[in-house]
Amino acid sequence: MRSLVRSFGTLRPYWPLALAALLSLIAVTAANLVSPRVLGAMIDDGIRAGRIDVLVNLGLLLLAIALVRGLVSFTQGYASEKLSQSVAYDLRNELFARIQALSFSYHDRAQTGQLMTRITSDVEQLRSFVGMGLLQLVSAIAMTVGSVVALFALNPLLAAVTMLTIPATAVIVIYFMRVVRPLFSQIQARLGVLNTILQENLAGVRVVQAFAREPYEAQRYRAANEGLLDINIKTVHGLSSAFPLIFLISNLGTLAVIWIGGYQVFDGALTIGGLVAFNTYLALLIQPLMMLGMIMAQVTRAAVGAERIYEILDAPGEVTDRPDARPLATVAGRVAFEQVSFGYGAHGNADAALILREVSFVAEPGMSIAILGETGSGKSTIINLIPRFYDVTAGRVTIDGHDVRDVTLESLRRQIGIVLQDTTLFSGSIRDNIAYGRPDAMLGDVVAAARAAQADAFIAALPAGYDTIIGERGVTLSGGQRQRIAIARALLRDPRILILDDSTSAVDAETEYQIQQALATLMRGRTSFVIAQRISTVRSADLIIVLAGGRIAAAGSHDELLRESALYGEIIDSQFGDHAGQGVAATEEALVRS
Amino acid sequence: MWHGGLQRMAELPQERAGEGRKAARRMLAYLAPYRRELLLVLGLTLVAAVATAAAPVLIGRAIDEAIANRDAAWLTQLMLWLLLVYLVGAAAGRTQFRLMGAIGQRTLARMRGEIFDSLQRLSLRFFDRQPAGDLMSRLTNDTDVLNQLFGQGLVQVLGSLFGLVGLLIAMVALDWHLALVSFAVMPLILLTTNLFARMSRRAFRRTRESLGDVSAEIQEEIAGVKVAQAFSRTAVNQQRFARRNAANRDANVTATAITSAFNPAVEVLASLATVLVVAYGGWLVLQGLSTVGVVVAFITYVQLFFRPIQALASFYTTAQASLAASERIFALIDTPPDLVDPPDALTLPRIAGEVRFDAVSFHYGQRVGQHDDATPLVLHDVAFVARPGQTIAIVGPTGAGKTTLVNLIGRFYDVTAGAVAIDGVDVREVRLASLRSQMGVVLQESFLFAGTIAENIRYGRLDASDAEVEQAARAANAHEFIERLADGYQTRIGERGNTLSQGQRQLVAIARALLADPRILILDEATSSVDTRTEALIQAALRRLLAGRTSFVIAHRLSTVRDADLVLVLEAGRVVERGTHAELLALDGMYAELYQRQFRDAPLVAHG
């Protein structure tokens, strides 16, 4: 409920709209009260009195009121919608910005389907409350207060009797809110599960189809769907008694008034006219009470939605700019790791498995560093720490002597060009994709970057060249083509520090050769980190770091390592074996032994 | 600059006139299984209506008869009747709400299930082009809109219709002249309703589409969030998102502006009817043709009459939102699968594994068989035969069509021309499941599902025992690292495979394929991101596993393809060279050149 109250803060910039909606609601109510009187006058003063002119005039007045009421009720509908849509718009933008800003470690755990559910469904729950329920809530409370005053003025005893309906209604409302609230939470949670299955099914459609697992997926979805249905029906059942009970209580109020009022009439304490009048006013009290019952469910759902929205907005960003973070000036490119240890989700937790242990090295400006090691040895982790995708668990990473945690993320990452293993491209044109890191780049720069990444030739051959749309609605690119676009994307930023995570592996030997030639030129003058599985790439590096179990097992130049490191020799050997067959025989043996 | 949602519908059936009525009829058809419950709801609605009508009558009699005459006994009796009426009304309301709520929810669940099932029938050709986020929006947001319709909307319509019929009879019986006058505005109301309905449907359709766009954007940006951060693109992305978000907001405001204008319009017409009745009735009274009592009664009737009319009309307008949503849902359900099992589809028995390509051409255009210049051919006249148990290596520059070629074996796409045959049977004539269940595929991107590692490996064969899962992991060289994880095989991996390195994910994907024990194995650059040492181990394992299976390997390292029985060299979609490694070297063509390049660059230690 606190989240719901907090969400009202989003209304503040739109207070004129909110006011307009509220005022027009009041005007509509007033018009509704006036029309019957005019109608009454038409009958009494017009027809009964036999005056055509009065009849005509009042008729025109009635039409005029209808027109005005129509105009005002349009204003009310429009303002409410504009208000609620604006709030939803702001919340979605905020959520989107937050999701974009949350650290890698958050996204490692978060599920796309769950995030999507919050940004669409939960926002919608809150929006529909702001658009309809909130206004009704305000007017219901106002009407209740007003009618209570009127009723007491009319007949204190009967008013006191009817007042009993208010706490009774409140008790019922609170009781049912307690009952359905957890159910609504479960609905949203299960909706998230359902959407996650769906999202995964769509993202992994190739795997699903390759393994002919469509029936299994359908069954998985069905199970989650039924889980959601169960909770939905439970909620329907939970709520089913609420409305009738609240209606019943209001009706019992009427019953009590007539009954007790009847006896008051018998005693002469009340006239029949007074009783009828009181009964008429009672309707004014009952109406908002019933309305409260109706919007109760809406309020509860909105509260759940608000809570889930703020869960994301309040999610601690593990990697954020410090309050005193300064922009990093153009760097020379000296990267130093000082006793760096790292474990995923191991902040201050020594027990958690560490991926990196006390890694120290220095990359001088312009040096190329090759990182070698078995899969899972922490290669990707090292390069993820340089642009500060994660914060170190212990030790520090510095660039030109500045701890990466002391500078602004934007200024840091702007100077780093990265080609990740995951060559995610976005739907849009090829040009947009290459210019991803520099949206204002000129076409000439884009083409130059593409040329350097050996992508120009195949792009030029596409039907629309650089304007060819790729992604979900466009041309399908091969893995190698995607990779070269990703490389061009990194090169266009003209970074001081270049990071290549195994980026040439899905390219054929010919293209790889060309790319490496291009990269060799481009790496000149930049500090570069390359995770490569090929000795050919590695041997020309200034510094080779061999990782084993999260520690630096050996470091040095190719020649040094050949002399000094048995592990390096082994890796070289397996690469060598790749060509001559000896290494494979050796590993065959190893496999048989294991 | 960035692509909008305009092309979207090209993939899905176009809307046609009368589509709305058809969609409405189809939605009603979803209620057919609940005929009995709906009848009950109908009865309960009547009971509730009678109870609502009876209460004022009882109160009126209590005041007029009991209280006015100081008859305490009669008052008590009437009050007890009133209590009974209230209780019956409450009970009827509760039951009706439960029934209708459950029917609505069950219908929605059924719809979601049907959409999901239809997605499972569609081919990659469809998914290549349809943004996942938009599909998700259809399954979630669009079905959600129908909730209101199935929930209380229908009950209200039924209630309104009942009241209307009763009032109609009463009015005609009282004074058919006045009745005719009050109905005079009906054509205007119908016309207005129709006009607004059409306008609002167009507007609501726009809201559904723009919401789909928002969804698609969210989905894509969440999937690519790491790249966005790496390129400090978050500010630009937010602006982009804000644009689509604003388009959705504006579409909703426009749609609501239309519906908000509609209600007052009908109200004004209703007031016009009242004025007409009063004017004509007044004239009748003045002429002595009618009595004041009749006119007063008629005015009450007119007011009562237009309330349900208004409710119905406004329901009809807002129902357009449901219609727009249902159109999108039905469009998806109705998308014809382009890869269907023919009616007399053959269930492939255990295959030997001969794979034959007969003059296969292929393009990624929208429809099979239609070829235009806009979608260039990716494969031209590819023909070869892979004998059972052979290893076929496919090499060639990136974009040459290697992945496409192997995708055709499992019939993920249908060929544009020519035929692919397994053991002499055209793949289009067999049951897809019987074909794919005998194939193992390791794709370029090793996609894993959220769940435990064991679950992910078991995806290859759902009934595999724990021992078999472990065996497959061992064969794929994944066992060792899995054992080192805190929870071993029960370690949960996230959707994006966090905590596992790319190489480890690939090992799991290989284990998954091995567990499937396929007759035909396809490795698409599967070993590229594993370090050389691990790769050597995998290759050793694979070599033993390849024995007896037909396998296709796309590997860019020529060393891996050297042992292949047949090497196909692809260039720009054509097989330019074929033969064994030795033969191709002797040919001294493209393959030889690629091979030379590899050696010139790589193994300086090889000779040392």
Whether residue B454 has pLDDT greater than 90: yes
For residue B67, what is the nearest residue in chain A, using CA coordinates?
A262
Q: What is the pLDDT of residue A592?
A: 35
pLDDT value of residue B525: 60
Q: Quick one: pLDDT at residue B495?
A: 61
CB hemisphere CA count around B422 (13 angstroms):
30
* pLDDT over threshold 50, residue B20: yes
Nearest alpha carbon to residue B440 among B552, B544, B357, B339: B552
Give the per-residue pLDDT at B219. 85
Q: Which of residues 199-218 of A touch B (CB under 8 A)?
A: 199-218
Contacts of A212 in chain B (CB under 8 A): 432-433, 435-437
CATH class of A2-313: mainly alpha
Q: Which tens digits make up the pLDDT trace of B488-536?
A: 899 888 665 556 777 788 788 888 888 888 889 888 765 555 666 666 7
Q: Does B195 touch chain A (CB under 8 A)?
A: no
Phi-psi region of B606 (alpha: psi -120 to 50; beta: other; left: phi over 0): alpha
β-sheet bridge partners, residue A416: A497
Angle at A44 between CA A40 and CA A45, to 5 degrees: 110
Q: What share of chain A has pLDDT > 70, as a percent?
A: 91
- Predicted local distance difference test score (pLDDT) of residue B256: 87
User: What's the pLDDT score for residue B361?
Assistant: 93
CA distance A439 to A445: 11
Q: Averaged over B551-579, what is the pLDDT?
A: 84
Predicted pLDDT at A508: 64
* A506/B274 touch (CB, cutoff 8 Å), yes or no: no
**Considering chain B, what is the average pLDDT of its residues?**
82
Say if residues A126 and A71 touch (Cβ distance below 8 Å): no
DSSP A357: E
**Token pair of B348 as six digits:** 């492939």
Residue A579 clears pLDDT 50, i.e. is over it: no
pLDDT level of residue B16 (50, 70, 90 thresholds): very low
Phi and psi dihedrals of B30, rounded to 5? Answer: -65, -20
Report DSSP letters for A89-100, one per residue.
HHHHHHHHHHHH
* Predicted pLDDT at A132: 79
Kind and range of the H or E run holding B192 = helix B186-223
Cβ pair B330, B357 in contact under 8 A: no
A379: closest chain B residue by CA: B501
Third-level CATH fold of A416-494: Rossmann fold (3.40.50)
Residues in A touching B295 (Cβ below 8 Å): 43, 47
Other C-beta atoms lying within 10 Å of the C-beta of residue A244: 22
H or E stretch covering B570: strand B566-571
CB B489 within 8 A of CB B470: yes
Tell me if B282 and A52 make a contact (CB, 8 A cut-off): yes
- Domain B348-438+521-529+550-608: which topology? Rossmann fold (3.40.50)
Cα–Cα distance measured from residue A289 to residue A249, given in angstroms and rounded to the nearest whole number: 10
- CATH 3.40.50.300 placement within chain A: 328-414+521-594, 416-494
Q: Domain A328-414+521-594 maps to which CATH number in 3.40.50.300, 3.90.1300.10, 3.40.50.2300, 3.20.20.80?
A: 3.40.50.300
Fold matches, B348-438+521-529+550-608 and B444-517: yes
Instruction: Render B279-302 in DSSP notation, one character per residue.
Output: HHHHHHHHTTSS-HHHHHHHHHHH
Residues of A in contact with B118 (CB under 8 A): none
Distance CA B419, CA B404 (A): 14
- Residue A230 is predicted with a pLDDT of 94
Pair type for strands A356-363 and B439-442: unpaired
CA of A343: how far to CAs of A105, A489, B230, B487, B580, in Å?
Answer: 11, 30, 20, 16, 48
Residue B17 Cα, gap to closest chain A Cα (Å)? 27
Please provide the average confidence, as pLDDT, over all residues in chain A. 83
Residue ranges covered by each domain of chain B: 23-201+249-333, 348-438+521-529+550-608, 444-517
CA distance A196 to A210: 20
Q: What local confidence, expressed as pLDDT, does residue B385 receive?
A: 94
Is B357 a residue whose pLDDT tops 90? yes
- Nearest C-alpha of chain B: how many angstroms from A244? 5
Contact with chain A for residue B243, Cβ under 8 A: no
Strands A428-429 and A416-419: unpaired
Q: How many CB atoms lie within 10 A of CB B513?
A: 30
Binary contact (B109, A576; C-beta < 8 A): no
Coil, strand, or helix at residue A354?
A: coil
Binned at pLDDT 50, 70 and 90, residue A446 comes out as: very high
pLDDT at A480 exceeding the cut of 90: no
pLDDT of residue B529: 56
In this complex, which of B132, B397, B502 lies closest to A202 when CB atoms are compared? Answer: B132
Give the pLDDT confidence of A228-285 residue by residue, as tens digits.
999 999 998 988 888 889 889 888 988 998 899 989 888 888 888 888 888 877 877 8
Closest CA to B595 of B604, B606, B584: B584
Domain B23-201+249-333 coded CATH 2.30.110.10: no
Give helix B466-475 / helix B502-515 axis angle, nearest 10°: 120
Test A108 with B498 for CB contact under 8 angstroms: yes
pTM score of the predicted model:
0.81
Q: What is the mean pLDDT of residues A530-551?
A: 81
**Is a pLDDT exceeding 60 seen at residue B380?**
yes
8 Å CB contact between B341 and B425: no
Q: Nearest to residue B144, comparing CAs of A503, A128, A545?
A: A128
Q: Which of B227, B314, B462 to mutate to test the interface with A (most CBs of A within 10 A)?
A: B227
Q: What is the rounded CA–CA span in Å between residue B559 and residue B595?
A: 9
Please state, in angstroms and as integers, the Cα–Cα distance from residue B25 to each residue in A175, A461, B19, following that order: 40, 49, 10
Instruction: Report the gap between the CA of A26 and the closest CA in chain B (Å).
Output: 16
What tens digit of pLDDT does each residue of A352-387 get?
A: 578 899 999 999 998 999 998 877 788 888 988 999
| pLDDT category of residue B374 using cuts at 50, 70 and 90 | low
Residues 6+ apart with CB under 8 A from B470: B479, B489
Q: State in words which class domain B444-517 has.
A: alpha beta
Nearest to B63 among A213, A272, A481 (CB): A272
Q: Is the pLDDT of residue B9 over 70?
A: no
Rounded to the nearest angstrom, the gap between the alpha carbon of residue B4 and the centroid of all alpha carbons in its chain is 19
